[in-house]
Amino acid sequence: MSARILSGTVIRDQIYAELAQEIAELKSIGVRPGLAAVLVGDDPASKIYVRSKIAACEQLGLGNVHLTPPANTTTAELLAIVRELNSRDDVDGILVQLPLPPQIEAKKILEAVDPAKDVDGFHPINIGRLVEERPTMVACTPLGVMEILRRSKIPVEGADAVVIGRSNIVGKPMALLLMHADATVTVCHSKTRDLRKFTREADILIAAAGRPALVVPEDVRPGATVIDVGTTRITDPRQAEKIFAHNPERLEKFRKNGSAVVGDVHPDVARVAGALTPVPGGVGPLTIAMLMSNTVKAARLRRGQRTPEAVTSSR
Ligand code: NAD
């Protein structure tokens, strides 16, 4: 048996086609949704993430503002930047790329973003609304996972879902969204005593631990849907040999590049799972697609418009 591969890039393209239509409609009434991305310092991974978010805005014709204050920016200076963006009418969504340098009080910054422009869904008000299952801005990665499940027709209602990871930006909102979609949800984490005991029971297994190839075939119930959120760049050849043992092409590519991006799920899980998202090309593209979707949603809501349910609901 070989798992059905759930391609994030295909689903992203469907979402972009739908968004393009919405954006054209907004344009016809003189509205161009805009996203502001703030990147403090020059962390190489963050630079790549922000660049791809700006590229997505350009592809869809969204307005975009890209601010790059230096690494030694203070909390007060960054607060001033956020407040300015809050007041700008051409900015519908604000994202402050994490992680922030250590001298900046990240919580203060995230709380300063206008909740109506909080397209990352990190503001405590929006998290509270999500807990209460009220309409809100929801974190992009878990929202993207729900889109993968929905558009791939994976039944969620009544399913046993296991989430590995309990972070504020992935694990917790993921568990809430699955619960709201009527799954029975178990959240595992670094202190879980016997991870396999839980993962083997899952109809839907979401891995968001940031531990390369943590989930191996023995951890997965045959036929289960496995969603791999993890993305880690590995450079250790021995680790690569283990992960790509049955994947000579990727091992060859690793040797050529000296590194590879891998997920939390060992690729051999494809032999056991019923459906599996690849890394790269699985959840990653959906995260950016949902950021675009949240920006369009924010633009509509700020102008008192309703939003189409499909890609914007927290359910
Ligand atoms: P995090 O480090 O904040 O949280 C990791 C969580 O995993 C913690 O709750 C921890 O308890 C749990 N964990 C760690 N080791 C574990 C283990 N051995 N067994 C069980 N649980 C364990 O990370 P995060 O921000 O939630 O991100 C998780 C992963 O998802 C990372 O690899 C990150 O790069 C990736 N990510 C990908 C996207 C995307 O768009 N594809 C977006 C966000 C995060």
The per-residue pLDDT for 304 is 86
224 and 106 share one domain? no
Asked if the structure places residue 231 within a domain, the reply is yes
Considering only CA atoms, which residue is closest to atom 39 of ligand 1?
A: 284
Residue 24 lies in a domain: no
For residue 30, give every residue at least 6 positions away whose Cβ sits within 8 Å of its Cβ, in sequence order, or none: none
Q: Does a structural domain hold residue 74? A: yes
In a domain, 296, yes or no: no
Q: What is the pLDDT of residue 184?
A: 99
CA distances from 86 to 54, 66, 131, 185, 250 (A): 19, 15, 25, 36, 44
Q: Using omega within 30 degrees of 0 as the cis cutoff, is the peptide bond preceding 101 cis?
A: no
Is residue 43 part of the annotated active site? The answer reads no
- pLDDT of amino acid 309: 54
The reply to whether 303 falls in a domain is no
Low-confidence ranges of the chain (pLDDT < 50): 310-315
Same domain, 51 and 90: yes
Active site residue 14: no
Nearest CA to ligand 1 atom 18: 190
Do 121 and 130 form a contact (C-beta atoms < 8 A)? yes
Instruction: State the distance from the centre of ligand 1 to the C-alpha of 300, rounded, in angstroms.
Output: 32
- Residue 164: CB within 6 Å of ligand 1? yes
The pLDDT value given to residue 308: 64
Q: How far is the CA of 211 from the centre of ligand 1 (A)?
A: 7
Task: Show the domain range for 51.
Answer: 32-116
Give me the pLDDT at residue 79, please: 98
Q: Which helix (H) or strand (E) holds 63?
A: strand 63-67
pLDDT at position 153: 98
Per-residue DSSP letters for 115-184?
GGG-TT--SHHHHHHHHTT-S----HHHHHHHHHHHHTT---TT-EEEEE---TTTHHHHHHHHHHTT-E
The per-residue pLDDT for 177 is 98
Q: Which residues contact 209 (CB under 8 A, 6 or more apart)?
A: 164, 165, 190, 230, 264
With residues binned 3-state (H G I as helix, E B as strand, rest as coil), the percentages for the chain, rounded to 5, are: 45, 15, 40
Residue where a domain stops, chosen among 58, 81, 116 = 116
Amino acid at 111: E
pLDDT of 306 reads: 74
Please check whether residue 228 is in contact with residue 207, taking contact to mean a CB–CB distance below 8 angstroms: yes
Whether 43 is covered by a domain: the verdict is yes
CA 94 – CA 120 distance, rounded (Å): 8
Judge if the beta carbon of residue 214 lies within 6 A of ligand 1. Answer: yes
Are residues 76 and 188 located together in one domain of the fold? no
Residue of 52, 141, 147, 167 best suited for mutating to test ligand 1, as the one with most atoms within 8 Å of CB: 167
* Residue 45 exposure: Cα atoms within 13 Å on the Cβ side: 7
In the structure encoding, which two tokens stand for residue 302, read together? 């700020």
Atom of ligand 1 nearest to the CA of 214: 18
Q: Domain of 87: which CATH number?
A: 3.40.50.10860
pLDDT in tens, 227-264: 999 999 999 999 999 999 999 999 999 999 999 999 99
The answer on 98 and 38 residing in a single domain is: yes
Give how many domains the chain has, as a whole number. Answer: 2
Contact 166, 187 (CB under 8 A): yes
The verdict on 183 and 274 lying in the same domain is yes
Structure-block tokens of residue 236:
């250790």
Same domain, 173 and 52: no
Would residue 53 show up in a list of annotated catalytic residues for this protein? yes
- 229 CA to centre of ligand 1 in angstroms: 8
Q: What is the pLDDT of residue 32?
A: 97
Is residue 191, in this structure, part of any structural domain at all?
yes
- Among 92, 118, 120, 264, the one annotated catalytic: 120
Do residues 160 and 96 both lie within one domain? Answer: no
Sequence length of the chain is: 315
Instruction: Check which CATH number belongs to the domain holding 156 and give it.
Output: 3.40.50.720
Domain presence at residue 153: yes
**Ligand 1: which atom is nearest the Cα of residue 144?**
40
